[in-house]
Amino acid sequence: MEAMDDEVSGRPDPTDLAAKLQARAAETLIKLKDESYSTHKVFNLVTNGVDDLFRILIDIIKAQFMSYGAEQVFSVQEVCSILDRLEGNSLFEGVHTPEELSKYVEQERCLIRPAGVEVTTQPVVAGKEVKAAVVEKGYIVPFLPMLEALLNCPEVLHCIDNPKPSIDGVFADPLDGYAYKKHPLVQKYPGTLGIRTYDDDAQCTDSASSQDVSVRFIYWTLLNIYPELRSSNRAIHLMGCMKTDLIKSTGHKVFLTDYVASMKQLCSEEGVTFTVMGKKRVFRAVMVDHNADNPAAASIGGFKESHFANCCCRQCYVTSEEMFSSFDEKDFVRRDKESHEKHVAEVEEYIEKKCKTKPSPSVTYGINSRSALMDIPTCDVTKCLPQDLMHDVILGTLKTEIICLLEHTLEKKKTSLKAINRRISSLVKYFGVNKPADIEASHIQNRSLRQSASETLALAYLLPFALQVQTEKGVELACDEANLHCYILRLNLLSLQMSDQFTMADLERLRKMTIDHHKRFQALYPGRETPKMHYETHFPMQIYLYGPLRLHWCFR
């Protein structure tokens, strides 16, 4: 009877309208899925997003009625009149088009647009042909606007204004290191911002040509953010990206100009005035360090990139002939800011004069060019490019020792590689994605263990158990006891290197343990030393300056 009254009066039936709404929603989602080939993730984003918009719309309608007072009574006509005012509005008002959306994000979300940096390459002579100069482009994100936007985040500002207490002589964070704590600006202005930069290459595939293009990405993060928040993607910011080949041919300077200029202002006594939470505040900042793998760190620092260079260490002047004569850092002459400035000047003069009558200082000092980072006040490139625990140890010296131990074990012929793999497989049921892959004979012959960093760690700690064999006398080792003891010492050394916190006593223990292990390794496997073993000798000083090694290793 009520339905007939609705039809007679011309009033819409709520049940029919609900069915119409559901049908229209289904039609829209079908088009989204079938015509736009949307993924299940996009499908969920749309449905959840529209549901949120609908709830906000209900709140707006409630607020419209509440604005008349809690005791106000409305007639049906008055309710319809209020609702009619909303008709013609859209849930996507002001963001209908990509242009409107971009404008909204720029104004309301502090969008900072990247700036293009054009670089003209030099003409190249190839045979009888001359390849014309080409204008290449990279991109940078302006540093100061990005920093100001970050400081306007309440959580970040809380971290800056309420720093965690630091105990002198205890290293649990990069800001506990003396590179930051003893910086003149930090001592004069406590709470000075600490900036860390990082760069890495990534292979991008052109789907049209199926060609890989190597692109270098440079990032930065604010070390004043608490460690438990700093590892979030939201705390890591892009500084720039450009082709790796372009970096190698032109250098970093053109792409770091904005960052260097910004740091010059931030490192000054005057600092930089930002508008934070509606108020003017002066901030100062120092560059703490730059993290990268060995070739990338050497490249941005102006050092020789190859391990085969005569002087390949960024921290000291050790030569390739002297590198394994000692494993105590005290036995080597450390690089420092003053001498490095002089040596860079010698290299630049040698290149400018094209002098060939005397040995190149570039070879003598292991320096290719002046680093753009040297223009940042108090930045010392002989110290601010720390060694990387992941590449130097986990994928470096640890892998080398695993291969050496396997070679020795197989030479003893008490077990086979197949048996070792079978034993490892029986022990890795609960390792999930970190389960190490099978070791093939070619891996040992080529001295190239095909394992990721996480797989290598899992394999490293399982290997001593996999090298036990069952005999008539009971369980025996498939390798010599001295070799296993050396390997166990390596694992103990690695565990110490990966510690979350260090004291001054721990640094001395790390120094002595490094010397002890490396000498044992050298005696057991003569000629198998690598430059990365030398780099480990600098770890104690590195922790003293920049905190725990695990907080500046280079994972993607």
Average pLDDT along the chain: 89
Residues 527, 448, single domain; the answer is yes
pLDDT at 397: 97
pLDDT at 8: 47
Asked if residues 281 and 274 have their Cβ atoms less than 8 Å apart, the reply is yes
Residues 53, 154, single domain; the answer is no
In a domain, 314, yes or no: no
pLDDT, tens digit, 9 for 90 and up, residues 119-130? 876 666 666 666
Residue that finishes a domain, picked among 347, 375, 403: 375
Q: Which residues contact 338 (CB under 8 A, 6 or more apart)?
A: none
Which comes out higher in pLDDT, residue 305 or 36?
305
pLDDT at 556: 64
In a domain, 134, yes or no: no
pLDDT at 515: 98
In a domain, 123, yes or no: no
Evaluate if residue 208 carries a pLDDT over 80: no
Residues 405, 532, single domain; the answer is yes
pLDDT at 20: 86
| Residues spanned by the domain of 174 | 140-302+371-375
Residues 394, 541, single domain; the answer is yes
Domain total of the chain: 3
Residue that finishes a domain, picked among 352, 375, 398: 375
pLDDT at 4: 47
Q: b or e along 82-103 (b: 16 or more beta carbons within 10 Å of the residue's beta carbon)?
A: eeeeeeeeeeeeebeeeeeeee
CA distance 505 to 513: 12
Q: Is 42 helix (H, G, I), strand (E, B) or coil?
A: helix
DSSP 89: -
For 505, the token pair is: 């006593």
Count of Cβ atoms closer than 10 Å to residue 9 Cβ = 7
Overall residue count recorded for the chain in this entry = 556
Q: Which residues contact 401 (CB under 8 A, 6 or more apart)?
A: 486, 487, 490, 521
Mean pLDDT, range 452-473, rounded to an integer: 89
Asked if residues 420 and 467 have their Cβ atoms less than 8 Å apart, the reply is yes
Residue that finishes a domain, picked among 69, 88, 107: 88
Residues 58, 175, single domain; the answer is no
Residues 294, 175, single domain; the answer is yes
In a domain, 97, yes or no: no
pLDDT at 1: 44
CA distance 310 to 304: 9
DSSP 163: P
In a domain, 277, yes or no: yes
CA distance 17 to 24: 10
Number of H helices, E strands in the chain: 24, 14
Q: Is 128 helix (H, G, I), strand (E, B) or coil?
A: coil
Residues 428, 535, single domain; the answer is yes
**Rounded to whole angstroms, what are the CA distances from 173 to 181, 190, 197, 237, 550?**
11, 16, 16, 20, 10
CA dihedral sign, ordered 411, 412, 418, 423: negative
Degrees, nearest 5: CA angle 485-452-299: 100
pLDDT, tens digit, 9 for 90 and up, residues 482-525? 999 999 999 999 999 999 999 999 999 999 999 999 999 999 99
Count of Cβ atoms closer than 10 Å to residue 405 Cβ = 22
Q: Is 288 helix (H, G, I), strand (E, B) or coil?
A: strand
Q: Is 278 helix (H, G, I), strand (E, B) or coil?
A: coil
Residues 41, 161, single domain; the answer is no
CA distance 440 to 417: 8
In a domain, 4, yes or no: no
In a domain, 322, yes or no: no
Asked if residues 89 and 112 have their Cβ atoms less than 8 Å apart, the reply is no
Q: Is 215 helix (H, G, I), strand (E, B) or coil?
A: strand
CA distance 38 to 32: 6
Residues 260, 159, single domain; the answer is yes
Which comes out higher in pLDDT, residue 248 or 130?
248
Evaluate if residue 339 carries a pLDDT over 70: yes
Residues 279, 152, single domain; the answer is yes
Residues 537, 471, single domain; the answer is yes
Determine the distance from the C-alpha atom of residue 132 to the mean position of all C-alpha atoms in its chain, rounded to a whole number: 36
